[in-house]
Amino acid sequence: MDIKKAYEMCLAKTERHMELHKGAYEYGGRVFEGKYEEECTKNTELNSRVNWMTSFVTGMGVLAYRTTKEQKYLDWANKYEQAYHDKIFHHFDVNPIHDLGFLYSPYSVGLYMETRDERHKLSALRAADELAKRFDIDGRYIDSWTNLTQNPQLGRAIIDTMMNLPLLFWAWKETGHIFYYQVAKAHAETTAKYFIRDDDTVVHSFDFERGTGKILQEHNDCGYGNGSYWARGTAWAIYGFSIAARYLEDEKMYAISKRLLDKFIASMPENTCIPPWDFRLPADQPAYPSGMKNYPEERLWDVTDPKNAPLVVDTSAAVIAALGAWELNAIKADTKLEGYIDGVLEEICAAHLNDDKSVQGVMKHQNGSNVYTMYGDYYFFELLTRKLFDLPTCW
């Protein structure tokens, strides 16, 4: 499949979402057997504290409208405006979460960029305010999940927050208020200082001591374990630092993103642009979904068959890293970066897509467990729109 047909397939999948969901969220974030799974009924609504993925589906509607200008996509996306408004203005006090960039950039910022509708601007700015409130002055980081009203002794920062910073950078540019800039820049600097190892691999998260900002211990909540090298976390960092470099016009941020991308590419198995789910999976684990021997039995493949080891890959990490490469190439043109981006698109279009219109998912083999995900599908669609239309990003 060529990239033009892949783009048309993304439009068709967006229309499938439009058929199934007419203004109310009813599903979670992954697809098994062709349907977005309801991971937990309490987690599937937009107002759920733990669901950070919902905007990637509405965001696909926004990308569809921005590239086609067809009114049907805008009409569908706008059906969710009240839900986004209510979440951030009325429900957020019981929803401590740092993923407000993931929730409000693809939807509210994207729609405001296209329509200049003040409703979307106000929601996005309020989301930026709430994200900034999670900034810890002593540690100079944005807290990820801690309920700050409970006088916690520990704070937590995670690498994923690098992709939530663009909401703050956008708010700074939109309003001129330097506070947003200061918070985003400080968090990026803290991430650069602590989260990047000497070998340019990336840590997922740390606990910080409240009041001192002292780092206490490493955590890996999404990769294989402490000390490992989780591919998607690295991709968040590559893309996040490249965006920070654009907003800040900062050579150091550019250099960090480029180093992380170079390490990411150098760590890849031969003859592929698609990384394993975690580059440091133990030798006896690679055939297990997400490297977990206790994975639900109904979702296990034959882990004794070495032919199934290639399923423990993450196409979402590949496209997110390629978007980081796009940002870097926009700052400094580099034919090697262009070649890497084209290689990712070519490989995914050749071997990792499902064009069955009854299947909601777009891109197979995500997250090390052979599933589709909302975020991977969105970022693939975004990469296509940048390649085909040079569409300005919402980030």
Q: Are 195 and 257 in contact (CB under 8 A)?
A: no
Cβ-contact 108, 59 below 8 angstroms: no
As a whole number of angstroms, the distance between CA 291 and CA 298 comes to: 16
Asked if 105 contacts 170 with a C-beta cutoff of 8 angstroms, the reply is: yes
Return all residues near 124 (Cβ < 8 A) that are at least 6 apart: 104, 105, 108, 109, 112, 167, 170, 171
| pLDDT at 42 (0 to 100) | 41
pLDDT in tens, 249-266: 999 999 999 999 999 999
Can you list the domains of the chain with their CATH numbers? Answer: 3-389 (1.50.10.10)
pTM above 0.85, yes or no: yes
Q: Which token pair is 350? A: 């050749």
Q: What is the pLDDT of residue 53?
A: 84
At 359-382, the pLDDT tens digits run 889 999 999 988 889 899 999 999
The four Cα atoms 6, 10, 13, 19 give a dihedral, to 10 degrees, of: -140
Q: For the chain, which residues score pLDDT lower than 70? A: 23-50, 92-96
Sequence-separated contacts (24+) of 91-97 with Cβ below 8 Å: 91/47, 92/130, 94/49, 95/47, 95/48, 95/49, 96/49, 96/134, 96/145, 96/146, 96/147, 96/148, 96/149, 97/49, 97/50, 97/52, 97/145
Q: Which two tokens stand for residue 266?
A: 């150098």
